Amino acid sequence: MRSQFDYSRPASPQEAVAMRARLGDGARFWAGGTDMILMWQREEVSLDHCIDLTFLDELRFIDVADDRIRIGAMATLAALERSAERHPHLRTLSDITKLMCTPQTRSIATVGGNLCNASPAADLSPAFVALDAEAVILGPDGERRIAMEDFFEGVNHTAVSNGDLLSEIVIPLPPDRRVEASYRRIDRTVVDIALVNASASVSVDAGSRVTGTRIALGAVAPVIIRSGAAEAVLVGADLNNVDSGLLVKAGELAAADAKPISDVRASADYRRAMIKVMVKRALNDSITKLGGTVT
């Protein structure tokens, strides 16, 4: 491994993409660098050339409109934490950031960097999947969009190819229904990665009928996964009188879809058992946020 690397500072996202194409596989985009520098020091990645994105203000934003929320890839975790009052979805994401790393690190670490690291135990990833978010990817041939649930392709591997740049994340705000999301996790200590986590969103129509749920599971497979069987359980339920047994059933079905492994941090059986609990709690939280009642 080289003990030093070359450095470039692009003036725009488009120039950054062009630099990456010109410099080849030895070049890496540098966002907050909180993960990259550790991987480089441990010789897990080769870094011959650093393309510094930290001066690209056009990627550092959080924008709320009537039909969507846009979060720039270079928005820091600290900025996301401070955005809580701007929208209920941002309050959910803000609460998640408080579980991640330290305040000092959150002032540097970026949303895009966290997603592109593609850890199966990441905290933000399940929430973005549950919120039906899209990733906007800028490449040599222009811009493309991909559903966040398809963004993760393996451990530390995403749909962002070597010549691409994640530019923003878009969360839709449907006009015909209300949506709330929640996130739950189990960890060993404060500021630790999750042993298991889950995020759930619940959608209701004007008549307070549940029209759909999205359940995303982390740390139980190489990528964030959804449980279609669990998501179908609450559809049609009356928000004002949700049977608690439905939440238990959803948790059990989600656990059946999980594919956990045993490692030094937790056993597969423990992770599968905790998915039942995390899904039940996340669904209950979302229903409560919507003003519903679980009986």
Architecture (CATH level 2) of domain 178-289: 2-Layer Sandwich (3.30)
169: closest CA among 126, 134, 199?
134
Please tell me the total number of residues recorded for the chain in this structure.
Answer: 295
Q: Note the pLDDT of residue 200.
A: 98
**Angle of the 244-257 helix axis to the 268-289 helix axis, nearest 10:** 140
Amino acid code (one letter) for 19:
M
Tokens of 219: 């740390």
Q: Is 120 left (phi over 0), alpha (psi -120 to 50) or beta?
A: alpha
Q: Note the pLDDT of residue 190.
A: 64
Phi/psi of residue 263, each to 5°? -145, -170
Q: Note the pLDDT of residue 191.
A: 65
In the CATH scheme, what is the code of domain 57-172?
A: 3.30.465.10
Question: Using CB atoms within 10 A of its CB, is residue 162 exposed (0-12), middle (13-18) or buried (19+)?
Answer: exposed
What is the CA 262 to chain-centroid distance, rounded?
23
- What single-letter DSSP state applies at residue 215? E
Strand partners, 49: 6, 27
Architecture (CATH level 2) of domain 6-52: 2-Layer Sandwich (3.30)
Alpha-carbon distance 3 to 195, whole Å? 34
Q: Note the pLDDT of residue 195.
A: 93
Q: Note the pLDDT of residue 205.
A: 97
* Residue 11: its H or E element: none
Q: Note the pLDDT of residue 25.
A: 83
Q: Note the pLDDT of residue 110.
A: 96
Instruction: Pick out the chain residues at pLDDT < 70.
Output: 1-3, 189-191
Amino acid code (one letter) for 98:
K
How far, CA to CA in Å, does 2 sit from each of 6, 7, 41, 240? 10, 13, 10, 61
Q: Note the pLDDT of residue 189.
A: 67
Q: Note the pLDDT of residue 44.
A: 72
Tokens of 67: 């039909």
Annotated domain spans of the chain = 6-52, 57-172, 178-289
Q: Note the pLDDT of residue 167.
A: 98
Domains 57-172 and 178-289 share a fold: no
Q: For the residues of 14-72, what is the DSSP string, one character each?
A: HHHHHHHHHH-TTEEEESS-TTHHHHHHTTSS--SEEEE-TT-GGGS-EEE-SSEEEEE
217 and 225 in contact (C-beta within 8 Å)? yes
Helix, strand, coil shares of the chain, percent, nearest 5, are 35, 25, 40
